[in-house]
Amino acid sequence: MSKRRIPSRIFTVLVYLFLYAPIVLLIVFSFNSAKSNRVWEGFSLKWYLELFQDTRLLGALRTTLILSVLAALIATILGTAAAIGFYSMRRRSRSVCLSVNNIPLTNADIITGVSMMLLFVFAIGAFNGSPLSQLLGVRWKMGFGTLLLAHITFDAPYVILSVMPKLRQLDPNIYEAAQDLGASGFYAFRRVILPEIMPGVLNGLIIAFTMSIDDFVISYFTKGSGVTTLAVEIYTMVKKPVTPEINALSTLMFICVFLLLLIVNVRQARQETASSRRKAALTPSDGQS
């Protein structure tokens, strides 16, 4: 090993240690028999048993999972459609739309959260004071609906950025070629375009899901009363001594997300290997004319 590479290797090890040592400690002390996060007193599963008996924490987890799944699915559909629309635009119009799309990504979460809270308050006040609300006998208030709209709003830009590179890799004439062969517009999209961009769609779906399940700031400002997510519930628990149930819950969530990412990466690697083999089979060898 070169002496010049030793410092870089040490630096890399220190970076990974700094990033993942807290997660390892969290997982280890989730099996601690005592409440302490500093002293190991023996192996136990009692915190996992207490976790499944905590109805308030499980309710927040259920709300978070439902919210994340719905927001990720809706944002993936809208983001994919928007990415296809951006791709069909002229270069100048596409650059403007992508610049606007990048604003939520670079904007601070607290600004997005406060802005959406003010928007929802104004819209709810205008709707509740309108004749339509009195006619229908319906009054809108902040809750799961506003929380879902907020999550879809900040999830969709990630989906767009995940799908756009796959669209750029497409043959620009493939859609018209499918139509020339007799395929309808939707059939050509479903059978030709969508399979080609599916890796980007799946990546956008996973990113949207992880962003929703991890969000705290925007959820805190847009959730209203009576609805809470896991991140907000953990924040309220910080005001009093935190029990190792949080360690157990965080361990289970980390394992699930890790397995999901592992499955997706293995699937994507297999698809790339199969694609490279097909290209190699279609490419004539040097000995052929």
**pLDDT for 284:** 61
Residue 85 falls within a domain, yes or no?
Answer: yes
**pLDDT for 241:** 67
Q: Which amino acid is at 19?
A: L
Same domain for 223 and 249?
A: no
Q: Which tops the pLDDT comparison, 242 or 189?
A: 189
Q: Which tops the pLDDT comparison, 220 or 225?
A: 220
How is residue 169 annotated by DSSP?
Answer: T
Residue 189 falls within a domain, yes or no?
Answer: yes
Query: Above 60 in pLDDT, residue 243?
Result: yes
pLDDT tens across 187-221, in order?
788 888 888 888 889 888 988 988 898 888 899 88
**pLDDT for 280:** 75
* Structural domain harbouring 111: 56-231
Residue 49 falls within a domain, yes or no?
Answer: no
Same domain for 221 and 264?
A: no
Query: Above 70 in pLDDT, residue 1?
Result: no
Residue 125 falls within a domain, yes or no?
Answer: yes
Same domain for 119 and 208?
A: yes
150: nearest Cα among 128, 103, 117, 105: 117
pLDDT tens across 129-170, in order?
777 777 777 777 888 889 999 999 999 999 999 999 888 888
Same domain for 212 and 261?
A: no
CB atoms near residue 15 (< 10 Å): 10
The two tokens of residue 288 are 């052929």
Average pLDDT score over the chain: 83
Query: Above 50 in pLDDT, residue 185?
Result: yes
Residue 79 falls within a domain, yes or no?
Answer: yes
Same domain for 201 and 260?
A: no
CATH number at residue 156: 1.10.3720.10
- Alpha carbon 241 to chain centroid distance? 30
CA distances for 134 relative to 137, 145, 189, 220, 261, angstroms:
5, 20, 44, 30, 48
- State how far the Cα of 30 lies from the Cα of 43, in Å rounded to an integer: 9
CA distances for 243 relative to 31, 49, 239, angstroms:
12, 13, 12
The two tokens of residue 277 are 């083999």
Across residues 100-105, what is the average pLDDT? 86
Same domain for 68 and 173?
A: yes
* Listed ranges 6-10, 12-16, 127-131, 241-245; the one with the highest mean pLDDT: 12-16
Same domain for 268 and 127?
A: no
User: Is residue 119 classed as helix, strand or coil in its secondary structure?
Assistant: helix
Q: Quick one: pLDDT band at residue 285, thresholds 50, 70, 90?
A: low
Residue 21 falls within a domain, yes or no?
Answer: no
Residue 209 falls within a domain, yes or no?
Answer: yes
Q: Quick one: pLDDT band at residue 289, thresholds 50, 70, 90?
A: very low
The answer, as to whether pTM is greater than 0.75, is yes
Across residues 80-102, what is the average pLDDT? 88
**pLDDT for 183:** 76
The two tokens of residue 130 are 């309108």
Do the Cβ atoms of 15 and 213 come closer than 8 Å? no
pLDDT tens across 63-74, in order?
999 999 999 999
Do the Cβ atoms of 124 and 142 come closer than 8 Å? yes
DSSP states of 40-95: ---B--HHHHHHTT-HHHHHHHHHHHHHHHHHHHHHHHHHHHHHHHHHTS-HHHHH
Q: Which tops the pLDDT comparison, 67 or 286?
A: 67
Residue 153 falls within a domain, yes or no?
Answer: yes
Across residues 231-238, what is the average pLDDT? 80
CB atoms near residue 160 (< 10 Å): 26
Please tell me the total count of domains within the chain.
2
Same domain for 161 and 252?
A: no
Query: Above 70 in pLDDT, residue 287?
Result: no
Same domain for 188 and 248?
A: no
Same domain for 87 and 213?
A: yes
Same domain for 73 and 182?
A: yes
Percent of the chain with pLDDT over 70: 94
Q: Which tops the pLDDT comparison, 107 or 78?
A: 78
pLDDT tens across 17-59, in order?
888 888 888 888 888 887 777 777 888 888 888 888 888 888 8
Q: Which tops the pLDDT comparison, 19 or 242?
A: 19
Same domain for 195 and 169?
A: yes
